[in-house]
Structure 1
Amino acid sequence: MNLFVSGGAGFIGSNLVNEILKYRKIKKIVIYDNFSSGKKWFLKKSKKIKIIKADLKDEKKLNSAIKKTDLVYHFAANPDIAAAVKNPDIDFVEGTILLRNVLEAMRKNKIKKIIFASGSGVYGDKKKKSLVEDKTITNPISTYGASKLYCENLIASYSNLVGIAGISFRFANVSGDNCTHGVCYDFVRKLFKNKNKINILGNGKQSKSYLHVSDVVSALIKAKNLKFSNHQVYNLSTRDFISVNEILTLALKAFKIKKIEKKYTGGSRGWRGDVPIVRINDNKFRKFGWYNKNSSKETIIKTIKFLITNKKNYRF
């Protein structure tokens, strides 16, 4: 099996590539990445890997690189959700358009399978209501969520028009090795700069599930062996949650900081478009035998440890 992984040098993409290399049936992996957030040090070295440094907006290079692919994993997108506050167009340009180009390249090269990284942001703010794929109304409150939802619908339309079958995963917050954004990254970066004072977005009471990237990868690998039929959507989460204040406590413990001045930006949201409380039901995908090995707390602890250990590589 030959794979094409857009954004393959980024956070989730690099973890998938490093793990899926172990499988004998995988003969070739084309990593297509512009390295805006991806890093070569994230990736293991292997003769199976071919790295193409290019942008998905370059349709000529994309059409050439994607040839003879059996399955596409699409991760390339704007990784910084909060960036849209200052630049609302970013998720359209670095999200929707990129997937459209990938689907067109697939159509032209007669590639029939894609697995897409969506997100729980498609649901919008439902407070503590359990989010269920086939029951909860989607109503995104950010351009990030809107882009992901449009991308899902784009895959569905290509499925009906040209026979491309897709699976979209609506992830909870993902954290772990090789992360480039998120609350853990933010806290660790800030604490390396100043151990006496820290700024916290929102009121610290934001509460969500945090999936370890290794658990996400296990789901992505399991998905490639499922029967692809039209377009299927699956939530993916842990069954617990953790607050920003609790995450800060774990970060301070890792840095062995007992006292620090905390300054909150205020409000229930970390930024405009942030969903402060997220509760995800992922029973639909768990029926295939998948389960998360790491709790939200374990995910946070492991992520903080990884970031501290790799201080030099991250240039904190």
Structure 2
Amino acid sequence: MHAFVTGAAGFIGSNLVDRLLEQGHPVVGYDNFSTGFRPFLQSASTHANFRLCEGDVLDLEGMTRVMRGTDIVFHLAANADVRFGLQHPRKDLEQNTIATFNVLEAMRANAVGRIVFSSTGSIYGEADIVPTPENAPFPVQTSLYGASKLAGEGLIEAYCEGFGMRGWIFRFVSILGPRYTHGHVFDFYAQLLDHPSRLDVLGNGRQRKSYLHVQDCIDAMGCALRMAENKVNVFNLGTDEYCEVNDSIGWMTGHLGVKPALAYSGGDRGWVGDNPFIFLDASRIRALGWKPKYSIRESVIETLDWLSKNQWVLVSRR
């Protein structure tokens, strides 16, 4: 493969870039560094098969130019700010939906025939079926992020049908691991550094969530690319377990050796669009031979350890 990776300096993107290079694939990394970090590409930048192109997925002309010569796109660039989406509704439209359209148009101009897309389990809203399979009836969308990602999925399916492309769409649970830069582990750890005697928790702490380690995520994507041969291939990615927010808090505080007082905001969700129970049925990808190596607890602890050794990330996000 000669891969083009959007969001190459991000959490999942940079881990994917490293894996592709390890496997011997030439990689063009594309990022505007609005949320990505150059240090995440430090290892890749020393590799002869890596080329970094600084640019924006909203710049169709520029992206089309630098995509030339590649044969598969891993489209990971996105706005993933679910919690504050209502404060800037246009951002999800532009950075998730229009950006995906631009990627597909750049692919069409360069005759690139394959796309791998990072979607989200948020597209299921508050599903009636749990664990939620890929063919679950679609409920009302509950977040602008989920709605914009679902629109991206629709565009990919239509381009695959209309222009002979092939697509692999992955609906992730929340991803954890090295280079993690936003989410509950990040927020809780930042709080505990500021005031270890108190931890503010959105909701009642009983929200049930599933998580997946970033390396397990990349393993699953690779497995699907090798094994799934449909025009459009849709997979949930997640573990076969879930935990309460309170469980994660207990693992973190126990690992850090602190006993903060927990201050709950109340209610069964932390914000508008916060699904109180996310648990995806990943039997479709498991049937191809993939299974996760990390438990949720192991993923939380490894993420916490990485953040403790890379506190510059917390500083940069404030």
1:71 corresponds to: 72
For structure 2, list consecutive stretches of 5 or more residues without a partner in the other structure. Answer: none
Given that residues 126 and 139 in structure 2 are in contact (C-alpha distance below 8 angstroms), is that contact kept between their aligned partners in structure 1? Answer: no
Rounded to whole Å, the distance in 1 between the matches of 2:72 and 2:18 is 17
Cα distance, 1:265–1:225 mapped onto 2, change above 3 Å: same
The aligned runs of 1:205-284 (5 Å cut-off) are 205-258=206-259, 260-284=260-284
Aligned length: 313
The Cα shift of 1:128 comes to: 6.5
Matching of residue 39 in structure 1 with residue 37 in structure 2: yes
Given that residues 206 and 277 in structure 1 are in contact (C-alpha distance below 8 angstroms), is that contact kept between their aligned partners in structure 2? Answer: yes
Rounded to whole Å, the distance in 2 between the matches of 1:275 and 1:127 is 12
Matching of residue 168 in structure 1 with residue 164 in structure 2: no
Given that residues 197 and 262 in structure 1 are in contact (C-alpha distance below 8 angstroms), is that contact kept between their aligned partners in structure 2? Answer: yes
Percent sequence identity over aligned pairs: 36
Show CA shifts across 1:181-212 (max 9, x none): 11101111111111122211111111111100
96-105 or 184-193: bigger deviation: 184-193
Cα distance, 1:138–1:286 mapped onto 2, change above 3 Å: farther
Given that residues 128 and 279 in structure 1 are in contact (C-alpha distance below 8 angstroms), is that contact kept between their aligned partners in structure 2? Answer: no
Given that residues 85 and 144 in structure 2 are in contact (C-alpha distance below 8 angstroms), is that contact kept between their aligned partners in structure 1? Answer: yes
The Cα shift of 1:138 comes to: 4.7
More helix by share: 2
2:293 corresponds to: 293
Given that residues 207 and 245 in structure 2 are in contact (C-alpha distance below 8 angstroms), is that contact kept between their aligned partners in structure 1? Answer: yes
2:311 corresponds to: 311
Given that residues 75 and 116 in structure 1 are in contact (C-alpha distance below 8 angstroms), is that contact kept between their aligned partners in structure 2? Answer: yes
Matching of residue 15 in structure 1 with residue 15 in structure 2: yes
2:56 corresponds to: 55
129-138 or 74-83: bigger deviation: 129-138
The Cα shift of 1:313 comes to: 4.7
For structure 1, list consecutive stretches of 5 or more residues without a partner in the other structure. Answer: none
The aligned runs of 1:178-197 (5 Å cut-off) are 178-197=179-198
Rounded to whole Å, the distance in 2 between the matches of 1:7 and 1:150 is 19
TM-score by length of 2: 0.94
Report the aligned-residue RMSD.
1.5
Rounded to whole Å, the distance in 1 between the matches of 2:268 and 2:49 is 46
69-78 or 86-95: bigger deviation: 86-95
Given that residues 127 and 278 in structure 1 are in contact (C-alpha distance below 8 angstroms), is that contact kept between their aligned partners in structure 2? Answer: no
Rounded to whole Å, the distance in 2 between the matches of 1:262 and 1:128 is 31
